[in-house]
Amino acid sequence: MCSVLQLAVLTLVFCSVHSFTIQVCLSNSIDDDEFSVSTLIEKANANVGKDENDPKVMFGDIAVYTGLQSADPCTARGCLWPKSSDGNVYVAYRISNQYSQRERNTIVQGLRSFSRSTCIRFTPRRRQRDFVDIQSRSGCFSFVGRRGNGQVVSLSRRGCVFQSVIQHELLHALGFNHEQTRSDRDQHVRILLQNVIRGQEHNFRRIRNSRNLGTPYDYNSVMHYGRFAFSSNRQPTIVPVPNPNVAIGRANQMSPTDILRVNRLYACSTYHFEPQLKNSNIKSCL
């Protein structure tokens, strides 16, 4: 069941005022989650890690360097992308020639979506040392934050070339983790480990000192897993509290809060939210 909420005024620290419409889908069945970001990623990642050239992938779609899983180098040396004197953050990218023109266009559209609402500017790589290297590997995954030199962002042609997944993986590359790993998540969701596929429990770990940037927990973040993520038995693994019927993990694009966080993390001086639903490749919940 869907209803349309008119959210009229959004006033945040840096923002101008905009009107927009979002859909809120109040549904709870596993089939309704077919197109949620985490379902798409989970499906596409069925074979991830089987290719020995791939990095180790944990937490669903986060690439890690073997041996460093417990101490994210990010925290020690800083993994933000540098800010230019003009106030923008230029992130060089390269897109593999594995993609069709249409897939490439979708990826470029995903990269450009950041420039409409943040100071992040993905730009084709020239000579930059650090860059995101977008390739079709065996699933959808990314490192968290800038790692130095070329860092793979894998967007498999089989199931990852969707606006929501592209934004999700790029948000990882910009330094963001999954919403349900936030320090305060237990006030907003209950994790039902008894329904989680054995061996996949680590996907639901909480990060005690996550940087929440003064933003509220957001069920509609494109970084939030769906209700049935890593379920072994078609029963929910994440249930919102106190209201278990609230839709979670159904975003098909960055939420206003996702955008606000990028703007806060990178100290962007402008902020606005533009809905891009009509350009989305993913069926929404009509």
- Tell me whether residue 231 or residue 271 sits nearer to Zn ion (CB atom): 231
Q: Which stretch binds Zn ion (CB under 5 A): 17-25, 54-62, 102-110, 264-272?
A: 54-62
Q: Among residues 229, 187, 233, which one has the least CA distance to residue 204?
A: 229
Residue 272 annotated in ligand binding: no
Q: Closest approach of Cβ 172 to Zn ion, in Å?
A: 6
Q: Closest approach of Cβ 61 to Zn ion, in Å?
A: 4
Spell out a b/e string for 191-221, using b for 16 or more CB atoms within 10 Å of the CB, else e.
Answer: beeebbeeebeebbeeeeebebeebebbbbb
d(CA 258, CA 273): 10
- Tell me whether residue 222 or residue 259 sits nearer to Zn ion (CB atom): 222
Give the total of residues touching Zn ion (CB under 5 A). 1
- Tell me whether residue 201 or residue 274 sits nearer to Zn ion (CB atom): 201
Q: Which of 103, 169, 179, 274 is catalytic?
A: 169
Q: Closest approach of Cβ 245 to Zn ion, in Å?
A: 25
Q: Closest approach of Cβ 152 to Zn ion, in Å?
A: 14
- Tell me whether residue 196 or residue 271 sits nearer to Zn ion (CB atom): 196
Question: Can the peptide bond before residue 242 be classed as cis, meaning omega within 30 degrees of 0?
Answer: yes
* The binder of Zn ion chosen from 32, 33, 61, 179 (CB under 5 A): 61
Q: Please report which residue ranges of the chain form alpha helices under DSSP H.
A: 37-44, 73-77, 101-117, 163-174, 256-265
Spell out a b/e string for 241-270, using b for 16 or more CB atoms within 10 Å of the CB, else e.
Answer: eeeeebbbbbbbbbbbbbbbbbbbbbebee
SS3 state of residue 264:
helix
Q: Closest approach of Cβ 176 to Zn ion, in Å?
A: 9
d(CA 150, CA 165): 20
Identify whether 169 is a catalytic site residue.
yes
> How many whole angstroms from its chain centre is CA 8?
25
- For 63, list phi and psi in degrees, rounded to 5: -80, 140
Residue 188 annotated in ligand binding: no
Does 32 interact with Zn ion (rule: CB under 5 A)? no
- Tell me whether residue 61 or residue 218 sits nearer to Zn ion (CB atom): 61
Its sign, for the CA torsion 115, 121, 122, 123, is positive
Among all residues, whose Cβ is closest to Zn ion?
Answer: 61
Residue 172 annotated in ligand binding: yes
Which residues define the annotated binding site for Zn(2+)?
A: 168, 172, 178
Q: Which residues are known catalytic residues?
A: 169
Which residues define the annotated binding site?
A: 168, 172, 178
Residues that bind Zn ion (CB under 5 A): 61
